[in-house]
């Protein structure tokens, strides 16, 4: 299963499985590297999905007292959202 096809919950569950394997210290070096590579890819997938969800929430909150602005597909219209790190401001 490719990471693009995995939802957040599945990716997070797989990350937990990988962590358990790696903490058990029963893997060879090659197996550990393979697990690390898979975990890294899953982390990126989770981050992308979280950023997307955050954008949706921000758009909904911003328009809470007004009508929700919808795009052509009748989904909430999203705006560009930058985290504090992306803006160059130190994160707390």
Per-residue pLDDT of the chain (92 residues; tens, 9 = 90+): 455 578 999 999 999 999 999 999 888 999 999 999 999 999 999 999 999 888 888 777 666 656 666 778 877 766 665 555 555 554 44
Domain carrying residue 13: 3-62
DSSP structural state of residue 84: T
- Inside any domain, residue 71: no
Do 19 and 57 touch, CB atoms closer than 8 A? no
Do 20 and 28 touch, CB atoms closer than 8 A? no
CATH number at residue 22: 1.10.287
pTM equals 0.60
Total tally of structural domains belonging to the chain: 1
CA–CA dist 45, 22 (Å, integer): 20
DSSP structural state of residue 27: S
- Measured in degrees and rounded to the nearest 5, phi and psi for residue 57 equal -65, -45
- Inside any domain, residue 89: no
- Say how far residue 44 (Cα) sits from the centre of its chain: 6
């Amino acid at each position: 299963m490719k990471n693009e096809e995995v939802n957040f919950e599945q990716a997070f569950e797989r990350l937990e499985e990988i962590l358990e394997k790696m903490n058990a210290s029963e893997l060879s070096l090659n197996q550990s590297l393979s697990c690390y590579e898979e975990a890294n890819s899953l982390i990126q997938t989770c981050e992308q999905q979280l950023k997307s969800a955050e954008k949706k929430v921000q758009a909904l909150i911003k328009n809470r007292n007004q009508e929700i602005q919808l795009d052509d597909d009748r989904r909430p219209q999203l705006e560009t959202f930058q985290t504090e790190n992306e803006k160059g401001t130190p994160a707390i």
